[in-house]
Amino acid sequence: MPAFSRFLRYFLAVGRLGSIRKAADELNVSASAIDRQILNVEAEIGMPLFERLPTGLRLTAAGEIMMAAGGRWQKSLAEVRAQIEDLRGLKRGHVEIAVIDALAKGVIPAAVHALQSRYPGITIELKVASNDQVRRMIASGEVDFGVFFGPESYRDITVRAFVEVHLGFITPAGHPFGEQAEARFSACVGSPVVVPSSPLAVNQQIAVLEGTTRLTLERKAASNNIQMITSLVMEGVGIGILTSLDVVTEVRAGLLSFTRISDPVLRPMTLALCTASARPPSYAADIVLGEIQSAFGLLAWPGPSASISG
């Protein structure tokens, strides 16, 4: 990668996140490498690009100009690369992706649609499986890449991007419960509840909450299918318990409300876009991976606790 390309990638990430450390985590490079690139360019142009504040970095006037120019440069470079790929005939190939059930709607299908308009020669096969199955399919090379929960402890997996996903209550639009941004797990006691069953990953988090709070839910229905749970909630069967990821499409469409469960014992779940450590992606897979990675941030729940990396 040319030196300017590397600097611009680092600079845009720092400008967007307001932190060298956060940019280093997102780009999977050292903070010192990013800082060195920025300091070198600041010395070359004779002006600071950032104000160094106790709370982070803020763009200076020169930084704002660089940020706008960088965005235009990236767009132009992407267009040039696309034209060159056309000339070289590299927009061909077949890509296989494994995803969990919650991703069978929304961001992933939309990204595939965008890819098909830009790369009509690439065919994509999407396999929907349980969380553990997706991980095994990635590690074994059965698919080019995939998305699943909890990648931290697997050395045979390389994380390309991640978001933090929260557990919460889901209610039909207009339900009084849905007016709360967050609530403790105990808030649903006494109300009919629709819960996820195994093998859905959130089933384990509910078990943790029940064990630590010693509360008993009034279970009215259970399902191992996210669409069934959301349908039962919209029919008024009870308050549902799912992740923000599971219902982001319905919430943004105004069909459901999401109230995050705020119990301190509950930690966010990490949803990750991963490849096999031992198998570099093919050229076609790398194109698709990049498109999915760019859209991955849309899966994060809005708010200060959202965490995105790529």
What domains sit in the chain, N to C, each tagged with a CATH number? 3-88 (1.10.10.10), 93-158+275-296 (3.40.190.10), 167-261 (3.40.190.10)
Q: Is the pLDDT of residue 88 over 80?
A: no
Residues 287-310, mean pLDDT to the nearest whole number: 65
Global pTM? 0.60
Q: Residue 304: what pLDDT?
A: 32
The 10s digit of each residue's pLDDT in 292-303 is: 988 887 776 654
Decide if 199 contacts 260 (C-beta within 8 A): no
Q: Residue 215: what pLDDT?
A: 87
Residue 234: exposure state from Cβ atoms within 10 A (0-12, 13-18, ≥19) = middle
The 10s digit of each residue's pLDDT in 128-147 is: 998 899 999 999 889 999 99
| Sheet strands (E) in the chain | 50-53, 56-59, 93-99, 122-128, 145-149, 157-165, 167-172, 182-183, 192-196, 218-223, 239-243, 256-261, 269-276, 308-309
- Specify the residue for token string 């570099």: 280
Residues 115-137, mean pLDDT to the nearest whole number: 90
Which residues, listed in sequence order, are joined to residue 170 by a DSSP beta bridge? 240, 258
